[in-house]
């Protein structure tokens, strides 16, 4: 599933291509979106802005409606010039918006809904702006407060709670816990406020480092971008622990471990030596 950095870069690319442009054509494979278009055509409206909200991507239109999409494990947004050959089959099209300059195609997107500002504010599944770790409205202080309110939750599971910290997924969860030197199984209530603040700082820095500009103001897709947390230029050494079960820890040489964690059985990687079950100092 794309994490917050991927959605941020996707929103940035779509925003550069579409913001301020008039929609000339709209298509969708989803009845709810077709009905919304029948009631008030998207064609003729202007794309006001494109926003990343954790793992959700929101397109705001001049008429006040908001198109929210979630990629889950299979969806992606592509940008093309009119007439350019698509990289996916038309059968995989779920949403299409065309302007005079670009065609934005959402392929295999499993979740797509239309909201107003009022209905979006009531939608519990979509994080509020202040919880998006990459958002301009993000407040680390409030995120710390929210996390400390989940005392009985294991740290790795708390990091995945999009109401606490929107945008963190399995990869960053494991990497954040490693860099914080805390076991992913430590209960939040066992951590000091200072340690939780450190975890938040690491989360913000890691995701921010993975959305740094590398293409000027070009219109690019996020595909092919390799996530990196180690600062190593070696592509084979881009992550500390994630996906490295049985391999040597890059710091201490201990074998990296893996398990399924929490009620949702989400995969977690960690180093038992660098992240002891009961850290010496919390």
For the chain, domains (ranges, CATH) are 4-126 (3.20.190.10), 130-270 (1.10.8.50)
Q: Which of 2, 154, 175, 184 is catalytic?
A: 2
pLDDT of residue 113: 97
pLDDT of residue 1: 61
Question: With contact defined as beta carbons under 8 Å apart, do 98 and 91 qualify?
Answer: no
Residue 106 CB contacts under 8 Å (≥ 6 apart), including other chains: 69, 75, 76, 77, 93, 94, 95, 96, 112
- Alpha carbons 62 and 31: distance in angstroms, whole number: 22
Report pTM: 0.87
- Alpha carbons 261 and 196: distance in angstroms, whole number: 20
pLDDT of residue 262: 87
pLDDT of residue 223: 46
Q: Which of 21, 27, 51, 55 is catalytic?
A: 55
The token pair that represents 110 in the structure block? 């499993």
Q: Which of 3, 51, 98, 154 is catalytic?
A: 3
CA distances from 179 to 7, 120, 240 (A): 23, 35, 8
pLDDT of residue 222: 38
> What is the per-residue pLDDT across 10-22, written as a single tens digit (0 to 9) for each?
999 999 999 999 9
pLDDT of residue 23: 98
Question: Which positions of the chain have pLDDT values less than 70?
Answer: 1, 213-225, 278-282
pLDDT of residue 17: 95
> What is the per-residue pLDDT across 176-185, written as a single tens digit (0 to 9) for each?
999 999 999 9
Task: Identify whether 276 is a catalytic site residue.
Answer: no
The token pair that represents 89 in the structure block? 């089959």
CA distances from 143 to 90, 113, 246 (A): 41, 27, 33
What's the per-residue H, E or C state across 131-161?
HECCCCCCCHHHHHHHHHCCCCCEHHHHHHC
Task: Identify whether 3 is a catalytic site residue.
Answer: yes
Task: Identify whether 55 is a catalytic site residue.
Answer: yes
pLDDT of residue 235: 82
């Amino acid at each position: 599933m794309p994490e917050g950095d991927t959605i941020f870069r996707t929103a940035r690319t779509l925003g550069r291509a579409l913001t301020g442009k008039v929609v000339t054509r709209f298509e969708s494979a989803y009845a709810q979106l077709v009905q919304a278009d029948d009631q008030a055509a998207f064609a003729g409206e202007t794309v006001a802005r494109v926003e990343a909200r954790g793992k959700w991507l929101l397109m705001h239109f001049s008429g006040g409606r908001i198109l929210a999409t979630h990629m889950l494990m299979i969806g992606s947004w592509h940008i093309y010039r009119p007439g350019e050959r698509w990289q996916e089959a038309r059968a995989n099209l779920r949403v299409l918006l065309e302007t005079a300059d670009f065609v934005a195609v959402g392929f295999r997107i499993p979740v797509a809904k239309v909201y107003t500002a009022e209905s979006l504010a009531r939608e519990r599944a979509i994080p509020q702006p202040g919880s998006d770790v990459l958002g301009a409205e993000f407040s680390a202080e409030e995120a710390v407060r929210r996390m400390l309110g989940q005392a009985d939750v294991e740290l790795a599971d708390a990091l995945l709670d999009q109401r606490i910290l929107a945008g963190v997924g399995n990869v960053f969860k494991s990497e954040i816990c490693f860099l914080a030197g805390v076991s992913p199984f430590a209960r939040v209530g066992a951590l000091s406020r200072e340690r939780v603040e450190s975890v938040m700082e690491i989360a913000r820095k890691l995701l921010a480092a993975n959305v740094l500009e590398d293409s000027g103001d070009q219109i690019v897709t996020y595909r092919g971008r390799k996530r990196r947390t180690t600062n190593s230029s070696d592509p084979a050494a881009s992550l500390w622990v994630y996906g490295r079960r049985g391999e040597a820890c890059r710091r201490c040489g201990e074998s990296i471990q893996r398990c399924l964690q929490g009620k949702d059985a989400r995969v977690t990687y960690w180093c038992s030596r660098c992240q002891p079950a009961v850290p010496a100092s919390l």
